Amino acid sequence: MSFITVRDVKKSFGSGDSRTQVLKGVSVEIAKGEMCGIFGPSGSGKSTLLNMIGGLEDISSGSITVDGAELSGKKNKAAVEYRRENLSFIFQFYNLVPDLTIRENIRAAEYLAKAPLPIDELIETVGLTEHQHKYPSQVSGGQQQRCAIARAIVKNPKVMLCDEPTGALDFASSRVVLELLERINRQYGTTMLIVTHNEAIRLMVDHIVKVHDGLIAEDTINESKLSASEIDW
């Protein structure tokens, strides 16, 4: 059964002669608990699709539903409420508050949730127990990304949207972060959408979606899924 349904979605920016159509009629269905990788070259529309599912961009036409809730027409307060109740985001750049410790950065999101996950358990899960009282500048990029992941998941969201989560990381840190996302998906059943240029990630996701020139070029279920630790990077 579809948990996220994108139906004939189009998105344009600008108007008149400067109007650019980024998505040209995209349809895809994502099941609850899936780890879905969204691939495609720069400018293909994959991040725009993610942002519309996240309620960060308006839909020009078509419809998107998440857990039965229609996103079209949500404005201002309703859009903010939708994001707070359903979603968490992870970006290429960690967006941590520099004057807060690792633990305090995670707790900042805990206060937004009605039923947050236990913070001590989560800090242990992401491997930051011994670093929790340090500031972001005192830990590595990989550890900052793990903090960003913990901050996202502490809300216990229905959907986690990840935009190039390993884009700023080296090989070793990327593997650790992907193993962590995999563990969170398995442990908490969180539906994950991962936008990435990293083709190796397609080996570890349940569902592969490729966007090209504003259209879906591939929409397949991965029948030979590997764990992140098994991938030959």
Instruction: Give residue 82's pLDDT.
Output: 80
Instruction: Give residue 172's pLDDT.
Output: 81
The CATH number that applies at residue 137 is 3.40.50.300
Sheet holding 2-13, edge to edge: 20-31, 2-13, 61-66, 69-70
* C-alpha to C-alpha distance for 85 and 121, rounded to whole angstroms: 22
Task: Spell out, as residue ranges, where the chain has pLDDT lower than 50.
Answer: none
Instruction: Give residue 73's pLDDT.
Output: 67
* C-alpha to C-alpha distance for 80 and 95, rounded to whole angstroms: 19
Range of the domain at 114: 2-230
Instruction: Give residue 168's pLDDT.
Output: 78
Domains in the chain, number: 1
* C-alpha to C-alpha distance for 104 and 133, rounded to whole angstroms: 8
